[in-house]
Each structure stands twice: as C-alpha cells, then as structure tokens.
Structure 1
Amino acid sequence: MMRFFFLAFAVLSLSSCVVLSTKKYQTLVGERDSLANGLNSANIRIESLNEEINRLKADTAKLNSRIAELEGKVSGLDANYASLRANSSSEIKKLSADLQRREARLKEVEDILRKRDAATNALRDKLQKALLGFQESGLTVEIKNGKVYVSLTDKLLFSTGSIVIDDKGKLALTELAKVLKTQPEINIAVEGHTDNQRVANLGQIKDNWDLSVLRATSVVRYLTDTEKIDNNRLTATGKGQYQPIATGNTPEDRSRNRRIEIVLSPKLDELYELIK
C-alpha cells in the first residue's frame, strides 16, 4: 500500500515538474492500476478471512458449550454410577443374607421330612410285624404320601351288613393299639369304605354313606373305649363307595373295596411353624 501511494506521488510530482513520455506515463498508470487491483483483492481476502475467523469463533463457542454440557452429563453419570454401585452392593448383601436364611430354613424342613420319613418307615415295620398273623385275612400295611395306611377288609372286622366288630377284628385292633400306644405323636384317622352295591334290609342304615360312617365310628369307639387311646388323636369319617381301590365289579373287587382304612400320620407342628 505504501508503494502504491509512493508511485502515485511520484507520478503527480513528475507530471508537475517533468513532461513524461506517453509510454512512460502509461507504464506508471498501469502499475498504479495493478497496485489498486491488488489492494482491492487484498481487502476482499482480509474481509473473507475476518468472516472465517468470526465463524470459527462462533463454532468454537458452540463446541465449548457442548463440551461443558457433556462434561456435566458425564459428572452426573459418574454420580449415578457410584450411587447404583453402592445400592447394588447393599442389595447384593441383603439378597445374600436372605438366601442364606432361606437355605437354612430349607435344610431344617428337609431334616424334619427325613425324620418323618424315617419314623413312618419304622412305624410301618412295627405294624407289619405286629399284624403279621392277620395279613392272610386281608390286612395290608403300606406307605402313601408320607402316611401309613393300615387297610382291613370288612370280612376281617364285620359280618355282612353289620357294624358290630367281631372277635377276630377285635384281636387285630388290639394288636394295632399296642403299637399306637407307643407312638403318641401319631394322629389316627379311621375311614370307612363300601362297595357300590345298594344297601338292603339293614334296618336303620339307609345307604352306603351310613354304613361307612357307622363302621368307622365302631372302630374309633373300640380304640378309645376298650384300648384307651386318647380321643384327641382319632377322627372317624365315612367315604361310602366313592374311593374304591378296585375299579372292576367282580365279587373280588367289591370285597377289596369294602374296607376300613386306618391312616396314621405324624404330627408336623414343627414343620408347620417353619413354613409359616
């Protein structure tokens, strides 16, 4: 720019003092115009660069704002992560302690059930030994669902259509009572069952329901009144014809279905307390 002004000054000075040739003058004028064009180009470039600088400054400001925003979010995430980690650690400890308690209770329940099964097996063995002489008359002893079932056919206990226990049946119940008296923790349920034939000519006994209930009651009375087993241990129920063990309709099947089942189950108060 200084060079342009110097040349312009020189041209003016010479034009006032010296007469320039046309060629020289045109050369100077061309050089002046070239410098002027260069100056304009430089100014345009400077203006473009200034705009670029302003744009870059604006972009930089946006980026700094975005960086600050992201840093804030990262800080928040770090805080949340630390909180979650602390909570997770606490929750894991709580769950672990709860699992240990559950495992301990499960072990107690399993121990009680093992004891129950051992006691049930021992009771079955004692009863089978005590009642061995009656098995040919239709008496069976077996375990079902953790309980001992002593099944006595009606011909072992009663005459046809009767609710009065005969002498052979009393002998079987006496042997049974000897074992039950040594097992005070055993509950006793006496169930009467009949076949599907209609009751006829039995006086006050109206149907199979009556017959099954009265036979069960006769057994309970014998065990409590004669054998002196605690009344609180016994219950009597009649099932009628509705829980047969043989589904056929032959005389043998009907005979199997006419029975008294004495169901012996251990008291599980300790187990019930654990699973409350």
Structure 2
Amino acid sequence: MKKWMIGSLGLVLVLSSCVSQKKYADLESKQRETQDLLNSATVKLNSCLEDKATADARLKTLEEQNAFLKANNQELINNMGDLTTLTSKGADNLEKSLESLQEKDLTIRRLQDAVTRRDSVNLSLVQSLKGVLGNLDDEDIEISVEKGVVFISISDKLLFRSGSYNVTSAAKTVLGKVAQVVNNKPDFEFMVEGHTDNVPYRSGVLLDNWDLSVKRATSVVRVLQNDYKVDPARMTAAGRSHYIPLVSNDTPDNRAKNRRTRIVVLPKLDQFYDMIEDGMDDPEINR
C-alpha cells in the first residue's frame, strides 16, 4: 500500500512537471475571468432580487389601492342613487319655494295696490274736506293724514263753551259741512274722540275728565246723527280724557290746544279687503 501511494505521488510530480508554465497562466486567467463573471452575475442577481422586492411591494400597494377604489366606486354608485333621490326632492322643494315666493309677491302687489287705492280715496276725502272747511281758522280745525287714516281735529273753543259738553251753534255749522262730506263717502266709518287737558274736572253727574271727554264725543255724534242724518252705524263715540296731549299742559295756551275733539275717518275693513280682492282681478297685478 505504501509503495503504491509513493508511486502515485511520484507520478503526479512527474506529470506536474510536464504542464507548461503558459498553460498554467492561461488557466489562472480564465479562472479570474470566471470569478469576475460570477461576481458580476451575483451583483446583478442581488439587484434583480431587490427590484423584485420593490415590485412586489408596489404590486401589493396597487392591489390595496385597487381594492379601495373598487369599494369607493361602489359607495359612489350608491351615493349617486341617493343623490338622484335628493336632487329630485330638492327640485320639488325648489319648485314649491318658487311657487310660494310668487304667491307672496302677488300678495304684496295686491296689498300695495289696495294701499294705493286707499291713499287715493283718502286724498280725495281730504280735498273735499278742505274744500268745504277752507274758510276756517287753522287754529280751530286741522285736517291731516297719518298712516293711511284721515284725522279732523276741531278745537274745544269752537265746539264747546268752557266746562260744557253742549255743542255750540257755530260748531254745528262746521259739523254740518263735515257731515256733507262723510255722507257722500258711504264706504267710510269714523270715530269721534273727545280729549281734555289735565285740569281735574267735576261738575254735576260728571266725575272726571273721562266723563267729560266721552260726553263731548257723544254730543258730536248726536248732532251728526240727528241734525245731519249721518248713519249712526258708521259712528263710534270715544273719550280719551287727558292722556294723549298734543303738547305739555304747562301753560293756558297749551292746555287749550289739548282740549279738542278729533274725528278719525277710516275705510271699512271689508271695503279695504274688497280693494285687495279687486286687485286680484287686475290684469296689471296678475300678468
């Protein structure tokens, strides 16, 4: 056995000594080239593995995004159905709102038309009153329009003697002229208001300024009814005592101004509503 091994080693040595130096160098060069190729392949492999890992991660992200978009798309589809329903309801509500606005606009125009007609009638009434009462002193009688209502204010000194509620003869002439106008305006009602100063009053059965203001109002109403045939159903008598003064009651002249009888002329409510209903048929209103 030992002899065989020794012989083999000897043979190897002999063969090795037979390989030329050039071939050895070539083999060594090829080995280096192969090693370089292996190293390059290893680098490329590692790079490919990294790219693959990146691509896998991106694929997973895209898959997740795709799943999210699918779910979101379905939700949008569902919402579109709800939105269609809401849009339909919104359109109905909008149409109803527009109809309501049109109705309100029409109502406003009808009211404006009625107010315009009322103001025209009031202007005619004022002109008529000033026409028949034009020669009177402005301090004795005043005609005005406030908030669509005609006021005729007659001083106390023209209507009554001091402390009395009996209408004077001169005042009856004035009331006759007022009656002439109001009798020609059957569509109006009016209220006669008695006003006093703040000096306490008591005489006979009258207890105070309340009683005096009411008695003066009823006296005027009776003259209009009995002497000038004004329909009593159109009249109201009212006493305001001294609680609505025109000026302060601090001087005799001011107290004289506060002692007055006021006739408030206003259209009948049903007549005013008739004006509104007439406006409903007006083509200028309904166009």
TM-score range, shorter chain: 0.7 to 0.9
Find the aligned partners of 2:101 and 2:263 in 1 and give their Cα distance. Answer: 41
User: 1:109, 1:271 within 8 Å by CA — same for their partners in 2?
Assistant: no
Corresponding residue to 1:100 among 87, 99, 102: 102
> What is the Cα deviation at residue 28 of structure 1?
1.5
> What is the Cα deviation at residue 186 of structure 1?
1.1
The aligned amino acid for 1:259 is R
CA 1:270 to 1:227, structure 2 compared with 1: closer, same or farther past 3 Å? closer
Matches within 5 A, 1:116-155: 116-135=118-137, 138-155=140-157
CA 1:72 to 1:140, structure 2 compared with 1: closer, same or farther past 3 Å? same
1:165 counterpart residue number: 167
Find the aligned partners of 2:193 and 2:126 in 1 and give their Cα distance. Answer: 18
The aligned amino acid for 1:153 is S
User: 2:196, 2:241 within 8 Å by CA — same for their partners in 1?
Assistant: yes
1:174 counterpart residue number: 176
1:204 counterpart residue number: 205
> What is the Cα deviation at residue 117 of structure 1?
0.4
Q: Percent identity?
A: 32
Tell me the alpha carbon deviations over residues 139-189 of structure 1, each in whole angstroms, 9 at most, x when there is no partner: 221212211111111122111111122222222222212221221221211
Q: Secondary structure at the match of 2:240?
A: strand
Matches within 5 A, 1:256-275: 256-269=257-270
State which drifts further: 215-224 or 29-38: 29-38
Asked whether 1:59 is paired with 2:58, we answer yes
Q: Secondary structure at the match of 1:240?
A: coil
Corresponding residue to 2:191 among 186, 189, 192: 189
State which drifts further: 265-274 or 95-104: 265-274
1:6 counterpart residue number: none
User: 1:137, 1:156 within 8 Å by CA — same for their partners in 2?
Assistant: no
Asked whether 1:231 is paired with 2:232, we answer yes
The aligned amino acid for 1:234 is M
TM-score normalised per structure 1: 0.77
The aligned amino acid for 2:192 is V
Matches within 5 A, 1:18-57: 19-22=18-21, 24-25=23-24, 27-57=26-56
The aligned amino acid for 1:43 is T
State which drifts further: 72-81 or 93-102: 72-81
Find the aligned partners of 2:207 and 2:96 in 1 and give their Cα distance. Answer: 64
1:12 counterpart residue number: none
CA 1:228 to 1:271, structure 2 compared with 1: closer, same or farther past 3 Å? closer
> What is the Cα deviation at residue 248 of structure 1?
6.0
The aligned amino acid for 1:100 is Q
Find the aligned partners of 2:25 and 2:138 in 1 and give their Cα distance. Answer: 150
User: 2:141, 2:154 within 8 Å by CA — same for their partners in 1?
Assistant: yes
CA 1:29 to 1:148, structure 2 compared with 1: closer, same or farther past 3 Å? same
Q: Secondary structure at the match of 2:144?
A: strand
How many residue pairs get aligned? The number is 258
Tell me the alpha carbon deviations over residues 217-276 of structure 1, each in whole angstroms, 9 at most, x when there is no partner: 22223334544433332222222222222336333222111100001112344666969x
CA 1:72 to 1:130, structure 2 compared with 1: closer, same or farther past 3 Å? farther
1:249 counterpart residue number: 250
> What is the Cα deviation at residue 93 of structure 1?
4.2
User: 2:197, 2:249 within 8 Å by CA — same for their partners in 1?
Assistant: no
Unaligned 5+ segments in structure 2 are 1-12, 278-287
Find the aligned partners of 2:273 and 2:28 in 1 and give their Cα distance. Answer: 119
CA 1:69 to 1:86, structure 2 compared with 1: closer, same or farther past 3 Å? farther
CA 1:148 to 1:56, structure 2 compared with 1: closer, same or farther past 3 Å? same
> What is the Cα deviation at residue 81 of structure 1?
7.2
CA 1:117 to 1:58, structure 2 compared with 1: closer, same or farther past 3 Å? same
User: 1:157, 1:166 within 8 Å by CA — same for their partners in 2?
Assistant: yes
